[in-house]
Chain A
Amino acid sequence: MSETRKQWYVAAGLLAGILLVGRGTAHAMHISEGILPFGWAAVWFVVAAPFVAYGLYRLKQMSSVDLSFKPLVGLMAAVVFIISCMPIPVPTAGTCSHPCGTAISGILVGPAISVLITAAALLIQALFLAHGGLSTWGADIVSMGVVGSFAGYFTFRAARTVGLNLWGAGFLAGLLADWTTYLTTSVELASGIRGEAAFFPLLGKIVVAFIPTQLPLGILEGAMTAGMVMLMYKKRPDLLVKMRVIKAEEVAA
């Protein structure tokens, strides 16, 4: 066995150990307050800024034609806040983690508005629950808001274009939104904490260390997103048509 591979196994084993010892709720998606040095925290704010600005532009456009759009976005932010605080059991890690909820908001209101929704939910969580942080708000917006929302939205659209049914498209969107969020979080974490160490080997170890929680969590998030889309399809298909998730003909069919 090569030395690198051995080290990766050790990384996975150690994290599994930490999770099993802790057996609490692991909010691994949020980068905690203070974890990034000042320079890296600033870099992620700069990366997040244009996406937030575009989201605000889209919000202004949409709310000028529909007065109920801002309240809808506020309510969706409240739902994403609650979803991303809900502990769900991760059987392989023996602990609880939380879903992102960004895939469903990306699918329903579009990725640009979903970035805003996530930014609002993250700011409230940082201020009042110490999930994430003010200094890491930019990094968390990039990983959960930008990457999660865009990955969820484009996966859903691509899956529907190739003819996948609603459940399958929702599942894939939730799965990939979660996994890409976790990969981005790993990149942010590795770049922030590496110090003198080489970037890529450390990134690999962080990715491996997150696997016990995030691999099954992605599958759970996929199932949850598919469940949400299907529930909406059964109860209020008109809303899915209104939000351009499905076409009107599909409801009749």
Chain B
Amino acid sequence: MELFSEHFKKDHVFARIDARVKLLVAIGLLIMVLSYKGFFFPLLMAALCLLLCIVIRVPVRVFLLRFSEPFFIVLMVTAIKFFFAGRDPLFSLDLHVFTITGYRDGLLSGLLIAARIFGAVSIVAVLGFTTAFTDLMAGLSWFRVPKGFIEILMLAYRYIFVILEDALVIYHAQKNRLGYTTIKRGLSSFGTLTGSLILKAFESSQSTTVAMVQRGYDGNLPLLQHKPFNISEILCSVLFLLAMGVAWKI
């Protein structure tokens, strides 16, 4: 969890761009990546995003670690496509009991999916690195995402850190008392830990509501006000999307 949004960078031009513009650009690029049939565009996106992260001084290690989970899926999907979803055999290995066959077209199509994953994950990672959570929420409200859902997102984001801290305290206490030495004890400790977090959520919801009501909460949280759109930002974004559209057509 150390990779959470603490790597958001405020001191560069991309952080100052309107979150609504960034969301629209990100969604436009995602659609292009998802509908592209080759390697070029997704890998171009991944390279551009990596470059941007270097420019805004997000550690490359942090950027690459964002791929640890997608990488597992990439491995699995490529293996499945390579061995089970092709017609043109690349090799065949006779293991007496059964034969393993790798397919050229399956491998190609697996690698295409892998490129798409790398491109798409890079775009969303950059969006996360360059946009504050509250700005994103304000942007979503401008796009008419229901207010109730945005309020839940804001409350959840606020309390993730509080509950995570509690979880770590309980976990370390359990670990010091050998709570995870065997599978059975580990399961029991894990159940107690998660159950304690649920109880904490129930208890905190009461105290939080009391505190919020004292500060004028009437069932609706105030959201950030939208600034007017900056014409130059919109023009630059449209030009960038057009340039990417040309690359997409190649």
Contacts and interface: CB of A to CB of B under 8 A. Distances in A.
Please name the 7 residue pairs, one residue from A and one from B, whose CB atoms are nearest each other, closest first: A227-B191, A74-B155, A34-B120, A231-B195, A77-B156, A72-B205, A68-B209
Interface residues of A, number: 94
A68 B70 CA distance: 37
Interface stretch (B10-18, B81-89, B225-233): B81-89
15 contacts: A25-B69, A34-B30, A35-B77, A35-B117, A52-B149, A70-B152, A72-B201, A75-B208, A104-B198, A120-B149, A120-B152, A129-B66, A134-B124, A193-B80, A205-B80
Interface in A163-196: 189, 193-196
A209 interface: yes
A7 B84 contact: yes
Given A64-B219, A88-B190, A224-B194, 18 more contacts: A25-B68, A32-B69, A56-B148, A59-B148, A67-B209, A75-B163, A75-B205, A79-B194, A79-B198, A81-B156, A86-B167, A124-B156, A130-B70, A196-B85, A206-B80, A227-B192, A230-B191, A231-B196
A15 B75 CA distance: 9
B63 to A, nearest CB: 10
B197 A82 contact: yes
Nearest to A88: B190
What range describes how many residues of B lie at the interface?
Answer: 35 or more
B124 A70 contact: no
B41 to A, nearest CB: 12
B122 to A, nearest CB: 9
B69 A195 contact: no
A71 B205 contact: yes
Contact of A224 (B125, B127, B158, B187): B187
Contact of A127 (B68, B72, B77, B127): B127
B169 interface: no
Contact of B69 (A104, A117, A131, A232): A131
Interface in B133-183: 133, 136, 146, 148-149, 151-160, 162-164, 167, 183
Contacts of A94: none
Given A34-B119, A104-B198, A124 B160 contact: yes
A71 B204 CA distance: 8
Contacts of B90: none
Nearest to A134: B124
A97 to B, nearest CB: 10
Contacts of B154: 74
A70 B34 contact: no
A82 B72 CA distance: 20
Contacts of B38: none
A134 B126 CA distance: 13
Nearest to A216: B183
Contacts of B191: 223-224, 226-228, 230-231
Contacts of A82: 160, 163-164, 167, 197
A27 B71 CA distance: 10
A105 to B, nearest CB: 9
Given A1-B98, A75-B208, A128 B4 contact: yes
Contacts of B202: 72, 75, 236, 239
A48 B153 CA distance: 18
A91 B186 CA distance: 12
B206 to A, nearest CB: 6
Contact of A231 (B83, B118, B120, B199): B199
